[in-house]
Every structure is written in structure tokens, then in C-alpha cells.
């Protein structure tokens, strides 16, 4: 799908359209990953970057690259303990 956005020139000074489009895609992917709308893999695909560049962007923007809830981790630990208890 192709979207058209109107962005005032003052916000893209020093960048060409391709750079601006790539940056917007990355920011959108980061936000959708952070909000749980996209998995890591889907966010990478959406942004058109590899996992390493995505992790770097997460670090730069202080977004946890591990998008797992505390409840999910606790549940996994309990299941592990139940299976490995003698």
C-alpha cells in the first residue's frame, strides 16, 4: 500500500524524500512495536530494516526490545518449575 503525507518543508530540511520516508516508517514501526501492535519481526519488515538496526533504534529511543509482559514471564517460570520439579 502506498500512503501520501503532506509534511511542511521546514520539518525535512537537509533530507530528501527517501530519507524522510524511511525515517517515518521506522518511527511508526517503533511506536507500533512499543504499543504491542507489531511483533519485532513485523516491525522490522514494516520499517525495512534488519533486526540489528531495529534493536539499535529501540536502544536510541529507549524502547524495550523485549516486549513481554511481567505476567507472561511469571507464567512461563511457573510452568517451567512445574515441569522440572522432582
Neighbours of 35 (CB within 10 A): 9
Can you tell me whether residue 55 is helix, strand or coil?
Answer: helix
Domain ranges of the chain: 16-83
The model's pLDDT over 12-46, given as tens digits with 9 standing for 90+, comes to: 877 788 888 899 999 999 999 999 899 889 999 99
Q: What is the predicted pLDDT for the residue at 72? A: 65
Structural contact between residues 44 and 51, judged by C-beta atoms closer than 8 angstroms: yes
**Cα 34 to Cα 40: distance, rounded to the nearest angstrom:** 9
Amino acid at each position: 500500500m502506498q500512503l501520501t503525507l503532506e509534511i511542511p518543508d521546514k520539518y525535512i530540511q537537509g533530507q530528501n524524500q527517501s530519507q524522510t520516508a524511511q525515517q517515518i516508517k521506522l518511527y511508526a514501526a517503533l511506536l507500533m512495536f512499543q504499543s504491542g501492535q507489531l511483533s519485532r519481526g513485523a516491525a522490522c519488515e514494516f520499517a525495512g530494516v534488519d533486526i540489528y538496526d531495529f534493536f539499535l533504534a529501540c536502544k536510541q529511543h529507549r524502547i524495550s526490545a523485549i516486549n513481554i509482559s511481567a505476567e507472561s514471564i511469571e507464567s512461563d517460570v511457573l510452568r517451567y518449575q512445574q515441569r522440572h520439579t522432582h
